[in-house]
Amino acid sequence: MIVHRSAFEGPTPRYRRDRIGRHLVALAIIGLAGGFEPAFAQNPPPAAPQRVVKPKAPAAAPAPVAAAQPAAPAPLAETAASGNEPVARVGGRDVTSSEIRAFLAAVGPDQRAALARDPALLNQTLRLMFAKQLVLKEAGDKKWQEQPAVVAQLAKLREEAIFETYLQSVSMPPENYPDEAEIQKTYDANKGALIMPRRFHLAQIYVALAEGADAAAEEKAKAKVADIQAKLKQPKADFALIAKDASDQRELADKGGDLGWLPETQLVPEIKSRVMGMSVNAVSEPIKLADGYHIVKLIETKPSETMPLADVRDTLVQRLRAQRAELNRRAYVSRVLEQNPPAINEIALSRIASELTQSAGAGR
């Protein structure tokens, strides 16, 4: 749901809709450090406010290795029909739609959604991809990959990739882990941390007034608030219709000012103190905040409750598997060292340690 930034999230927007989700709450409370049994916090901290951030352009994909040239190029109509028509020509070669699709498939879902919404961002991202291909082509023409420093760096990256992927393969827990008994045991042991706070279903009518506004703007806002209050006090007044007509929170006005469900932990004190004392369907007096006036209606409340196992099961499984994989990894490394104990020249090692100490002291 789109919410007015003046009323929600962060220091300027004052409170926001709960988007942490039950699964993310569980993610926040289950730790990976220590032994096999997970460490849990008494109460999970509230989720950090979500800010609207323009997604960064994803890293460009390297230029694919050019295939051997066919005897005759396929006709353009045939290529287009196959869904692999040229999209751009970069460095003397065509970049086809299949390459673009493969590149976009490799970026995260949030980035893909941002690119779908913003053609200009898509254009910029593809230009970065093409620029990277051109740089790689120029570097390849100059045999940059044969530079000693580059060769050494590539060897190190290759070694790390082999090391990490092999350790992952030998550390992976069996497919049937954890079983239902282990999941239930973990859930039962940590119910105290799997608490959803009390929640409020709210709607609001918002009258904007910028902080530091002049006297004329303030008088205009006060007059509008007074008019709204008069309408709300009429018999059978419809809060949603009044919000649709009068609220400055236009993205929610068509929904009658409905803010959805908000946890009490994310309500600013001025709003929380009013809402906590309200009965269902009651409407508050105007609440003055730095961004203007908020008239709030309490639609419904939900008490604090423990999240059911069904809502957190997938997250518990994910974390338990990650913990087991980490333990398997440590056990495997320890076993390798036990089976092939290294013989260490302690005198030579002490000299190296001394050199490190002297180097650190000289760098201060």
Please report the domains of the chain, with CATH numbers, ordered by start residue.
58-65+76-142 (no CATH), 195-306 (3.10.50.40)
Q: In the chain, count of helices (H) and strands (E)?
A: 13, 8
**Total length of the chain:** 364
Containing H/E element for 347?
Answer: helix 346-362
Burial per residue of 58-70, b for 16 or more beta-carbon CB atoms within 10 angstroms, e otherwise: bebbebeeeeeee
Q: Is the pTM of this model over 0.75?
A: no
DSSP secondary structure letter of residue 295? E
Output the pLDDT for position 330: 97
Q: In this structure, are residues 324 and 173 in contact, taking their beta carbons and an 8 Å threshold?
A: yes
Output the pLDDT for position 87: 84
Residues 6+ apart with CB under 8 A from 16: 3, 7, 8, 9, 49, 50, 262, 266
C-alpha R_g of the chain: 30
Output the pLDDT for position 61: 39
DSSP secondary structure letter of residue 40? B
Residue 163, number of CB atoms within 10 A of its CB:
10
Output the pLDDT for position 82: 52
> Alpha helix (H) ranges present in 106-179?
109-117, 119-141, 148-171
| Residue from 201, 198, 220 nearest 209 by CA | 220
| Residue from 83, 63, 86 nearest 73 by CA | 86
pLDDT mean for each 10 residues of the chain (364 residues): 37 37 34 34 38 37 38 44 75 86 88 90 91 92 95 96 96 96 95 93 96 93 96 95 94 92 94 94 95 96 94 95 97 95 92 90 74
Q: In this structure, are residues 29 and 98 in contact, taking their beta carbons and an 8 Å threshold?
A: no
Output the pLDDT for position 83: 62
Q: In degrees to the nearest 10, what's the CA dihedral of 13, 18, 19, 24?
A: 130
